Structure 1
Amino acid sequence: MGRYLGPKCRLSRREKTDLQLKSGVRGVDSKCNLERTPGQHWSRRGRTTDYGLQLRMKQMIRRYYGVMEKPFRKYYQAADGQKGSTGDNLLKLLELRLDNLVYRMGFAATRAEARQLVSHKSILVNGSVVNVPSYQAAKDDVVEIRSKAKGQMRIKAAMDLAKQRTTVSWVNTDEKALKGTVLDLPEVAELPAEFKVNLVVELYSK
């Protein structure tokens, strides 16, 4: 199954929350009516089953990070094999993806744009080119824009937009050098409150 290329608002409306799929300074509710579910005349849904809730939560988190089904399951399996909370481990693994860090550091307006920057070899990790969006970063890793890409207007525009986004404590960005550092492991408490990751654990534990 290929990556979704359809309307971004449709996905946020389906999950009834901002999946941060679109760039811009306006709130997503000014672009997409989150109360209006996709479908002709709005979709009218009956009572959702436990399985339905679990599935929707998996889809919400998967789409938020732009990860396809098969890789997402592998992330879950890796998280389940680690010590501690499987749900928290899953979110930390997703947050430490290189494309997500490029977005968190403000070098891209969306995670999709961040994936493109990585794929086009515009990103260095600890001084070496890394062109794999799913590359798993670690504490103290330094992520920076490659010299030949620093003049791109979209990066400057993204940095301006990032000033109006909520920042997270585990990354630090040097705006002048276009360089960022992973200061610590992600804090799950700083992630969207809508993420009921225990539902994903219940889904995959069946």
Structure 2
Amino acid sequence: MARYTGPVCRQCRREGLKLYLKGDKCFTDKCPVTRRNYAPGEHGQGRKKLSNYGVQLREKQKVRKYYGVSEKQFAKYFDMADKMEGIAGENFLKVLETRLDNVVYRLGLASSRAEARQLVNHGHFLVNEKKVDIASYLINTGDEIEVKSKSTQSAKFKELVEGHQGSVPQWLNIDTENLKGKVVAEPSREDIELPIEEHLIVEWYSK
């Protein structure tokens, strides 16, 4: 399935909550979810009771859109998590959290995951001092992520440094002055702020 290229705010409205796909706009009164908290389309205001299938589907789609991954990638990550020791649902979310684009966003080096994905694809980041331009690259504990020295002089990253609030998850450390971050632990379930019922996704893939 091709990547969605339409208005991203429609995706948030479809799921009925903020997925933080638009960066700074999501934190203002201009956020469409705040102004029109119902699904898009002419029948969007009509509330329908979902079947168990529909509830599971919506949960899967919500998480997929939140992290910005394709259906194929999403299924691949679940298969990977299902083979790991521990609880499949929690392992699945941990795998999604360790994508490079998500780590860049979590470090505050991009205003949204979509922007993080674009910056990674354009080669602005190093992982353990080596250039990595694959947004889906999975980061491990102990890895160091930094903005390439040539890119640190750009207005974009200078703006990010000035506006950085210094709040990152406990499994990450950030050196704002040098635009460097480090993964100090595995992400925990409590680090994920979006309300997710991962057991519904497990049920979806267990059919």
Mark yes or no: TM-score above 0.5.
yes
Q: Structure 1 stretch 121-130 or stretch 149-158: which is displaced more?
A: 149-158
SS in 2 for 1:124: strand
- Tell me what 2:12 maps to: 12
1:137-176 alignment, distance < 5 Å = 137-163=139-165, 167-176=168-177
1:187 CA drift (Å) = 1.2
Deviations 1:107-127 (A, max 9, x none): 111111111111111100000
Structure 1 pair 177–123 and aligned structure 2 pair: CA distance change class (3 A): same
2:33 maps to a residue whose letter is N
SS in 2 for 1:74: helix
1:30 CA drift (Å) = 3.9
TM-score by length of 2: 0.93
Percent of aligned pairs with the same residue? 42
Match of 2:59 among 57, 60, 74: 57
- Tell me what 1:108 maps to: 110
Is contact 2:120-2:134 (8 Å) kept?
yes
1:45-194 alignment, distance < 5 Å = 45-163=47-165, 167-194=168-195
Q: Structure 1 stretch 20-29 or stretch 174-183: which is displaced more?
A: 20-29
- Tell me what 2:199 maps to: 198
Is contact 2:101-2:116 (8 Å) kept?
yes
SS in 2 for 1:184: coil
1:22 maps to a residue whose letter is K
Is contact 1:140-1:184 (8 Å) kept?
yes
Deviations 1:81-136 (A, max 9, x none): 00000000000000000011111111111111111111111100000001111001
Is contact 1:25-1:161 (8 Å) kept?
no
2:160 maps to a residue whose letter is A
Report how many residues are paired: 205
Is contact 1:109-1:162 (8 Å) kept?
no
Is contact 2:12-2:33 (8 Å) kept?
no
1:158 CA drift (Å) = 3.1
Q: Structure 1 stretch 34-43 or stretch 196-205: which is displaced more?
A: 34-43
Alignment partner of 1:36 is 2:35:
no
Is contact 2:25-2:31 (8 Å) kept?
no
Cα distance in 1 between the residues matched to 2:110 and 2:188: 21
SS in 1 for 2:33: coil
1:155 CA drift (Å) = 2.2
Q: Structure 1 stretch 141-150 or stretch 192-201: which is displaced more?
A: 192-201
1:42 CA drift (Å) = 3.0
Cα distance in 2 between the residues matched to 1:157 and 1:65: 24
Alignment partner of 1:21 is 2:18:
no
TM-score by length of 1: 0.93
Is contact 2:18-2:33 (8 Å) kept?
no
Is contact 1:106-1:158 (8 Å) kept?
yes
